[in-house]
């Protein structure tokens, strides 16, 4: 197995604090920032409301806020007293507005962690919204479901209404089998018994996507799994932080992989998505399930990512044979067993892991950008960009190349799309690691922490192959050693070049490019497909380059 065919038309234009025009192959966008940095405190969920405000949950203070997208004015609706956050993935998380929000059902549904006799739990709560002039309030909390398991890690916590009027909620695997929770078993494959459901014991709900009636009860048409009907809609999930419905009613979700194979899934009732037995495709590549919790002395063994103690249970992916197993729609990104996590070109092993840390997912179904219609938009914490995955007409397969959009040195937490399809809003984390501007190393220096970034379509500008040809020519292509870059004098001022591999990493920079023919050596790189990107002060162009063995 080789690298998945991906990233052939990469968009990596560096974006600065000031407003700037950025270009993808078939669209151009103007980036601006709504308000200042740290406008938001640990933002988690973002919605474009029917009132034309941006609605945001702030994880650690437990605040729900409306932000005017024109003035950046904050309208704090409520600070929830019993939210119990840590520095982990808990606190105030998902939010959904009732489908009848502007009519007779002005309800806002949220999920958050709190303490029950000192133990961290999750609950879903409904609030009633009221507005007086420009100021809104949330009040009258009604608990839908309580005592869901919670953790300092992998709570997931995305909440959305489906076209069927039901609530869908992602609850992660609680971070078991890794890091500080490495001795905790993963229960993503364990289904509840009828006795547990009758007792409202939700112990085995982690690693699942739940489907609830708006009052928190179990829908009559939920799947029956192992003879039991519960809130569980699908299972075998790791950390699904994104969930979205298409207009046709198809449910999509994305979830974090451990080191590789972040997944984009099409969710079907009753299906099993494999975790922790399978990551990405069931191909026995780059992942075996090492179950640390099977160690008799687990707490006395130091955890190490990527290793497996001799006495722990170890399983290959192909040993998992569930009849209702469903492979992902797309893996970001599949690699082989011999993938080099310590490649010196990567800077460090964290950057070398070919995952993107998908934090949310949106779907683009507008006619505003015709070539984008029926695309999934996956936000990345680790790579500071949005990945566009083109769906086929049926919405059941990803087709074509993966496009990278809106690259900045930030951690993108969630995305919202304006109803006109011409503007995209992204909220950023206040802290944490992401890739640096070159994509070669990790950095904790975020350019726009706790911010709302807006990318607006510039309809008058579009790039074509002719523009590429009028700016530069390259030859030979394919090549085995040298490449010639012929820059046209009318566009050749302050040109920078980068060579990017299929993992989105900059493996070489070209400096000193001058008008006319420039020669550069490429004989130190493995054979494969690369993207050569050239950028001047206000434009960027790109061309695919194929390297083969000499």
Write out the catalytic residue numbers: 154
Listed in sequence order, the residues at least 6 apart from 17 whose beta carbon sits closer than 8 Å to its beta carbon are 33, 447, 448
Task: Tokens 């309800």: give the residue.
Answer: 107
List, in sequence order, every beta strand (DSSP E) within 162-238. 167-171, 208-212, 224-225, 228-229, 232-235
Which tokens is 467 given? 């523009």
First and final C-alpha spacing in the chain: 23
Listed in sequence order, the residues at least 6 apart from 323 whose beta carbon sits closer than 8 Å to its beta carbon are none
What's the rounded Cα separation, in Å, for the pair 28 and 417?
16
Task: Tokens 């006495």: give the residue.
Answer: 311
**Do the Cβ atoms of 344 and 322 come closer than 8 Å?**
no
CA atoms within 13 A on the CB side of 156: 31
Strands, sheet with 107-116, edge to edge from the N-terminal-most edge strand? 92-97, 107-116, 119-132, 135-149
Q: Which of 144, 145, 358 is nearest to 252 (CA)?
A: 358
B/e letters for 338-351, b = 16+ CB within 10 Å, e = fewer, are: ebebebeebbeebb
**Do the Cβ atoms of 167 and 111 come closer than 8 Å?**
no
Which tokens is 415 given? 């995305």
> Which helix or strand (DSSP H or E) is residue 79 part of?
strand 74-79
**Do the Cβ atoms of 179 and 152 come closer than 8 Å?**
no
Q: Which of 217, 203, 127 is nearest to 167 (CA)?
A: 217
**Do the Cβ atoms of 195 and 139 come closer than 8 Å?**
no
């Amino acid at each position: 197995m080789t690298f998945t065919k991906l990233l052939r038309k990469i968009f990596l234009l560096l974006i600065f604090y000031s407003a700037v025009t950025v270009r993808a192959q078939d669209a151009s966008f103007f980036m601006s920032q709504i308000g200042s940095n740290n406008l938001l405190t640990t933002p988690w969920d973002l919605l474009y409301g029917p009132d034309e405000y941006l609605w945001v949950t702030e994880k650690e203070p437990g605040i729900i806020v409306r932000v005017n997208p024109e003035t950046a004015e904050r309208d704090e609706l409520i600070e929830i007293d019993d939210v119990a956050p840590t520095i982990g993935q808990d606190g105030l998380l998902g939010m959904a507005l009732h489908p009848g929000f502007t009519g007779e059902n002005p309800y806002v549904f949220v999920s958050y962690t709190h303490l029950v006799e000192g133990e961290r739990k999750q609950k879903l709560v409904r609030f009633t919204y009221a507005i007086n002039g420009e100021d809104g309030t949330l009040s009258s909390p009604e608990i839908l479901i309580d005592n869901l398991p919670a953790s300092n890690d992998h709570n997931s916590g995305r909440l959305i209404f489906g076209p069927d009027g039901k609530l869908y909620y992602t609850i992660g695997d609680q971070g078991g089998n890794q890091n500080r929770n490495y001795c905790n078993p993963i229960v993503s494959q364990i289904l509840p018994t009828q006795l547990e459901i009758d007792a409202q014991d939700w112990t085995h709900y982690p690693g699942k996507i739940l489907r609830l009636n708006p009052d928190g009860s179990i829908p009559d048409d939920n799947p029956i799994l192992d003879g039991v009907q519960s809130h569980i809609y699908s299972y075998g999930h790791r950390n699904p932080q994104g969930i979205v419905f298409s207009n046709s009613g198809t449910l999509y979700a994305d979830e974090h992989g451990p080191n590789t194979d972040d997944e984009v899934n099409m969710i079907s009732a009753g299906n099993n998505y494999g975790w922790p037995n399978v990551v990405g495709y069931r191909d026995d590549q780059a992942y075996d399930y090492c179950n640390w919790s099977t160690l008799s002395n687990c707490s006395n063994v130091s955890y190490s990512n990527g290793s497996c103690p001799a006495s722990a249970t170890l399983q290959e992916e192909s040993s998992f044979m569930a009849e209702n197993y469903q492979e992902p729609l797309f893996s970001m990104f599949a690699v082989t067993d011999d993938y080099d996590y310590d490649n010196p070109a990567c800077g460090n092993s964290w950057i070398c892991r070919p995952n993107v840390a998908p934090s949310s997912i949106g779907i683009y179904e507008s006619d505003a950008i015709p070539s984008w219609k029926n695309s999934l938009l996956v936000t990345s914490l680790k790579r500071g960009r949005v990945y566009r995955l083109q769906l086929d007409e049926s919405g059941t397969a990803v087709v074509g190349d993966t496009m990278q959009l809106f690259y900045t040195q930030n951690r993108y937490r969630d995305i919202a799309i304006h109803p006109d399809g011409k503007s995209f809003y992204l909220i950023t984390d206040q802290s944490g690691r992401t890739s640096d501007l070159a994509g070669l190393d990790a950095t904790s220096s975020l350019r726009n922490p706790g911010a709302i970034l807006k990318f607006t379509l510039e309809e008058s500008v579009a790039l074509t192959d002719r523009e590429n040809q009028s700016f530069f020519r390259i030859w030979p292509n394919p090549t085995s050693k040298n490449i010639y870059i012929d820059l046209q004098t009318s566009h050749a001022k302050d040109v920078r070049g980068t060579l990017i591999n299929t993992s989105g990493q900059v493996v070489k920079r070209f400096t000193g490019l001058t008008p006319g023919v420039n020669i550069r050596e490429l004989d130190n790189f493995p054979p494969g497909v690369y993207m050569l990107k050239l950028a001047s002060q206000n434009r960027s162009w790109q061309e695919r380059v194929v390297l083969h063995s000499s």
